[in-house]
Every structure is written in C-alpha cells, then in structure tokens.
Amino acid sequence: MKERTYEKYFRQNRLPHIWCPGCGNGIAMKAIVQAVEMRGLPRDKTIIVSGIGCSSRASGYMDFDTLHTAHGRAIPFATGIKLANPELNVIVITGDGDCTAIGGNHFIHGARRNIDLTVVLFNNTIYGMTGGQASPMTPLHKKATTAPYGSVDRPFDACNLAQAAGASYVARSTAFHVQHMTDMIAEGISCRGFAFIETVVQCPTAYGRKNKMPDPAEMMKWMRDNAVMKTAWDRMPEEKKADKFPIGVFHRHQAVEYTEAYSEVITLAQEGGK
C-alpha cells in the first residue's frame, strides 16, 4: 500500500472532523494537501485561509498557519496576507455560498486583480452549515429549506464567472475524480496569478436528503455519470448535455500578477518618479 505521506499535513489532535458521514469535504481537503505535497510547497510558508461554512472548517484540521475568517471574507484576508508577504503561498478554501453569495464581490475583484491565490470552492450546491438553504449555485428546481417548492433562482457558473472576471487559471473537478481533482488543484498552485478550482462535493445531509439522493455513494455515482471531460464536452451535441457538466481546465491565461505589479509601484515611488 502506498505510504500515507499526506497525513503529516493534518493536525491529528484536531481529528476526527465535524463533517457528517459521507460528506465530500474530506476528499477535497485531502486533495489539497496532496497537491501541496506534489508541488513541494514549504509548509511554514503556506497559509490556508477559509470563510465560514462546513467546507471552511477544513482550515482547522490542516497543519499550516491557518485562518478561519468571517462569512464571505476569505479572499480579502488572503489578499492582505499575500500583499504583506508575497513569498507566502496562500490557498483559500470556500463554499458555494461563501464564495458566490456573500463573498461574490470579493471573488470577482480578486480575479480581476489577478493576485496570486489558489481558491478552491467546495461546491455542494447548498448552505450546508446552516441546514440546507438555497445558494446561488443550487440548480434550478432543486429543493432547499428556503426553496421548498424547488429553486427558481438561476444558478451561477462559478468557473465562467472567474474567467470573465480575469482569473489566470480556471478548472473544475469532482469528489468522484479524486486524482483529477488533485491534479487540477496542483496546477492551480503552480499558476502565478488568481487560480480558481471548483470541486463538486456531495452533501448527503442538507442537499441529498431533500433531493432524493440521501446516499453519498449514489451522489458520487451521479458525479461519475454526469461529469464530462472538457475535450469530450466540447464535441458533445447540445441535446445530450442536459444534466451533464464539464470538468477539466477551462482557462489558462498568464497575465501580470498583482503583487508583481505592485512591486513596480514601489520601485517607481522610491525613484520619486512619475
């Protein structure tokens, strides 16, 4: 059996975690530390920043400097850390509500600045922590405690949003495709600029039970059957897309990174120049 070298990245004394049996958050958390290991990031120069939600509790289990911020605000805090000390590697963990509802403005502006952060969105398409209210990523007609007749709010595609706002790297994966997810995150870490990875995770408790899929294994099979690799997706006839969704890397565009741009401001100011 392969050695579980990633275990050293967890605070063993903080485990077991608070997540429900079958929750997908642990899979995504493990993928992040494996990506950190793959990229050989120095642990003491790597900071994990999260918002508020079930997903954002991950920071407490990870043995780095970790920051559990306020709901929606992980990206501004992370921006401050990175600007204050550009040699640090900053990874943000956020939920679909945290990132695209209350934190939506910070999300697009982080991407616009193209600051060197790796943002991993754990997308369970629901507000897990508060017991199953609809999020801006809840699919149309799916049920939530605040959408008892099915949601009529059109959902965001967070990947399209990140790309349109100026991110350097945009990808999606799922908890079923563990190795793929790890690779997507690892490439995001390598990217110098705003890297965004949406990873679909199952929430059997707050989402599955309300939407006739209470079994976590069933939810993962749904991911297996409906996620389509980008290359295949691009060749797929429209009528077959229906409930399916693409995964893979959607966007790579190396633009000027923000802390680098600001270091030029410092040079200019110190030369007393205009």
Partner 1 sequence: MTDMKLMQGNEACAAGAVAAGVRFFGGYPITPSTEIAETMAKILPSVGGCFVQMEDEIGGMGVVLGASLAGKKVLTATSGPGFSLKQELIGYAACAEIPVVIVNVQRVGPSTGQPTSPAQGDVMQARWGTHGDHPMIALSPWTVRETFDAAVMAVNYAERFRTPVILLMDEIVGHLRENVQLPAAENIDIYPRRCPSKTRLQGYEPYAPEADLVPNPADFGTGYRIHVTGLVHDYTGFPSGSPAVTEEFIDRLHKKILLAQDEITHYDEFFMDDAEYAVVSYGGVARTAYEAVRQARAKGIKAGMIRLMTIWPFADKVIRRNAESLKGILVPELNYGQLKYEVERAAGGKCPVKLLAKYNTEIFVPGEILEGIEALKGGRL
Ligand X SMILES: Cc1ncc(C[n+]2csc(CCOP(=O)(O)OP(=O)(O)O)c2C)c(N)n1
Among residues 250, 224, 228, the alpha carbon closest in space to that of 237 is found at: 228
> Does the protein bind ligand SF4 through residue 138 (CB under 6 A)?
no
Pick 105 or 190: Cβ nearer partner 1:
105
> Does the protein bind partner 1 through residue 63 (CB under 8 A)?
yes
The number of beta carbons lying within 10 Å of the beta carbon of residue 165 is 18
Contacted entry of partner 1, Mg ion, ligand SF4, none for residue 66, CB cut-off 5 to 8 Å set by kind: partner 1
Q: Select from 96-104, 112-120, 147-155, 227-235 the region that touches Mg ion (CB under 5 A).
A: 96-104
Nearest distance in Å: CB 244, ligand X: 22
Q: Which residues of 170-189 are buried (b: 16+ CB within 10 A; e: fewer)?
A: bbbbbbbbbebbbbbbbbbb
Contacted entry of ligand SF4, ligand X, partner 1, none for residue 68, CB cut-off 5 to 8 Å set by kind: partner 1
Supply the angle between the helices 178-190 and 25-39 in degrees, to the nearest 10: 50
- # chain residues binding ligand X, by CB under 6 A: 17
Separation of alpha carbons 234 and 257, rounded Å: 29
In this structure, are residues 157 and 132 in contact, taking their beta carbons and an 8 Å threshold?
no
Site for ligand SF4 in 5-44 (CB under 6 A): 19-20, 23, 25
Separation of alpha carbons 159 and 121, rounded Å: 10
Contacted entry of partner 1, Mg ion, ligand SF4, none for residue 96, CB cut-off 5 to 8 Å set by kind: Mg ion
Pick 64 or 194: Cβ nearer partner 1:
64
Number of residues written out for the chain: 274
- Residues at the interface with partner 1 (CB under 8 A): 14, 43-45, 47, 49, 59-60, 63-70, 73, 75-85, 87-88, 105-106, 109, 262, 265-266, 268-270, 272
